[in-house]
A and B are shown apart, each in its own frame.
Chain A
């Protein structure tokens, strides 16, 4: 698609999105905000898991940190407004990510994944027991804000910023460095890339995005409790969103979040009791047939070549053929 046409399409969609709150019910708006927050988290995960290739399984930790920091600052004696508290939460999340990242990013593969998972679980327990700070398991209640369109616009703005940031970074030295680390870390080191610095940056950036999403959800939800805001499902959702859309791409996380939410809402309304089962099947389907996500599928379809039913079968089976053992 030629550039000016793409721009026009983008502008039209953006205009539509800006107009949305006027035409939908507050309940529907809530769902859209949820999608945007998921997209935000997925965009963040994309830096560390997609571009850099380090599958972090504990980013909900930063989501929770963002939520609690924002809430506690807003409730504190200074009564910080949201637009000061949220960035503070993001900053704290980045600091924690750096502190954890320095030792943990030395680990590889499964070990890194489980270590980050463990960190998230540990934080959940800490939040539940540190009563003096977090009110423990009962949680805290943020000040109420009734205009749901506020959350929507903030989330939308951040997602757009996320898109711009991802696009810029992808073309920058940082982005190239990340991909080099993912493809071959030793080669990256030999080529002069300070892998520790780059990895920590990716991790900290993912923390910032997760924390901002946490701040929005906390404010929207009003009630913040450890079991809700540190649950592993959030990490899973952001990873699945990236997988569905396509890791390591600018639009992948956003597309994936939208598709995921669509599927999830559909499943919820039709199969409510078997919701997780269907979710599991969706995960399995994508992992087996489309591990690089929809963006990659579109890219391959756009390549010149024969079309038709055979090409679909080849596309879907390509991954299986490459990764199976017989």
Chain B
């Protein structure tokens, strides 16, 4: 499992900071993405960074690496002021980073991608193009990607793309490496391997700054932790201290999360204490949605492999799995934004395998996509109305609008505001409202919790449970496994595109493998 930080060699030197960030602030218009952060990174350490989506972690990294200029503040790298340096110069000094949304150079081979890092990085001047290609081989071997060296980057799977991203950064011979969610999309075994790789890189002398959501990983490898929230640093210290600090728990982690995090650092097991909102299994057992042997993907890359899944009328089914497992792809395939390559989709009495997106909507399957995907330039009301685009019965539409406003009164208050101006929670409400307008028979919800405070998530899931009790069937895709299973009747586990487990939600919550892999227990 996780090793305690003290057992690693060599121990970081507290006296030589490799990077000092002083009062870094970044404003976008009126919004302060980063609001005055002081941070010191010690030479040789692994610094873990936590914080919900939107906390400013990536923006902070952008400021340091020169992709964005900070509105104010200073950055010293090994004592030298690099605040005003352009990003390529910062790269040459010995700072490298990976991108959260990977940026492969698609038309180039894997080897060439990495070679470019070697050509232009800290030791680029010493190397010719040919020598850089050789160095690329070495780096690719280290990240176990050398077998794909001659393939085009556009042909890689998500997991391999993450490794390529890391390899490109490593090829730059950095002294300080910023890693932005490199573990996202990896299954538990791959997470272990990645942790070991990072430890090895650190042993070889590279200081690491690791942004991560995978609790097990970040607790397991970090010397110190920093927590960012709403653009400010709210805590800093040893990992175990952090997850027990009251401010952190209150502001961000929430009880559930903190328990999980604490447990990740220890070997004791903890019982799950989720209560079920569902009294009993729903009476109806006929299958509303039946997916058989479904495979699909994007371009050359296959994401889903022979997926079998059904949803019965009146249920809430949770689909859980790590980032990149294919959950979103499955929902997009159901909605026909991605075409199935094989298999079948049956909904009620119709075969929707070859349907067009508008036919799926017409059949009553409404998809609330990941990231809200509201129409930013339309008002809240217009967004809701767009949700019933296919209908023309204006009287009924008015009633449905009132019904949605009744469920989500905040939306009524903001009815004439541009959707792009709402807060994250309000946007998610609007997206759900848009989905509900169509009175769906099956509601698909993708990653409700992303970027939202736990309280807001709880409120929204209460709402979902309510409408489910009123008769709407729900397929809920979630990264937050505990929250999803606590609100579902049954669950499916998706790992790298395959369904590996399916059972009632209660059984899944008690399952030791699930608890270890996803709950960090």
Asked whether A and B interact, the reply is yes
Docked Cα-Cα span, A177 to B103, in Å, equals 15
Instruction: Give the contacting residue for B105; candidates A172, A187, A189, A322; CB below 8 A.
Output: A187
Contacts of A195 in B (CB 8 A): 88
- B121 part of interface (Cβ distance < 8 Å): yes
| Residue on A nearest B91 in the bound complex, by CB | A192
Complex contact B172–A192 (CB within 8 A): yes
Known: A171-B129, A172-B129, A184-B103. A190 touches B116 (CB 8 A): no
Chain A interface: which size bin?
Answer: 20 to 34
Shortest beta-carbon distance, B304 to chain A, in Å? Answer: 20
Q: B67 touching A190 by the CB < 8 A rule?
A: yes
Instruction: Please determine whether B108 and A183 come into contact, CB atoms closer than 8 angstroms.
Output: yes
Q: For the complex, is B96 an interface residue (Cβ under 8 Å from A)?
A: yes
- A173→B120 contact, CB < 8 A: yes
- Residues from chain A with a CB closer than 8 A to the CB of B121 are 191-192
- Say whether A191 contacts B108, CB under 8 Å: no
A228 on interface, CB distance cutoff 8 Å: no
- CB of A314 within 8 A of chain B? no
What's the least CB distance linking B112 to chain A, in Å? 7
Instruction: Flag if A183 contacts B107 (CB, 8 Å).
Output: yes
Decide: A176 and B91 in contact? CB cutoff 8 A: no
Q: How far is the CA of A189 from the CA of B97 in the complex (A)?
A: 11
| Interface pair A194/B88, CB less than 8 Å apart | yes
A186 at the interface (CB under 8 A from B): yes
- Contact call B120/A193, Cβ cutoff below 8 A: yes
A190 to B122, CA, bound (A): 12
Whether B115 lies near A187 (C-beta < 8 A) is: no
User: In the complex, which residues 247-295 of chain A have their Cβ closer than 8 Å to any Cβ of chain B?
Assistant: none
Known: A191-B172, A193-B88, A193-B120. Is A173-B129 also a contact (CB below 8 A)? Answer: yes
Given contacts A176-B112, A179-B108, A183-B107, contact A191 B168 (CB under 8 A): yes
Q: How far is the CA of A186 from the CA of B68 in the complex (A)?
A: 11
Which residues on A sit within 8 Å (CB–CB) of B104? 183-184, 187
Residues of chain A within 8 A (CB-CB) of B129 are 171-173, 176
Q: Give Cα A177–Cα B91 distance, bound, in whole angstroms.
A: 14
B295 at the interface (CB under 8 A from A): no
- Partner of A180 from the list B86, B99, B105 (CB cut-off 8 Å) is B105
Known: A184-B103, A186-B99. 10 other contacts (CB 8 A): A176-B116, A180-B116, A184-B105, A189-B86, A190-B88, A190-B97, A190-B99, A191-B120, A192-B124, A194-B86
Instruction: List the interface of chain B (C-beta within 8 A of A).
Output: 65-67, 86-89, 91-92, 96-97, 99, 103-108, 112, 115-117, 119-122, 124, 128-129, 132, 168, 172, 299
Instruction: Give 22 CB contacts A-B under 8 Å.
Output: A173-B119, A173-B132, A176-B129, A177-B116, A179-B105, A186-B67, A186-B103, A187-B168, A188-B116, A189-B66, A189-B86, A189-B87, A190-B88, A190-B97, A192-B117, A192-B120, A192-B121, A192-B122, A192-B124, A192-B172, A194-B86, A194-B89
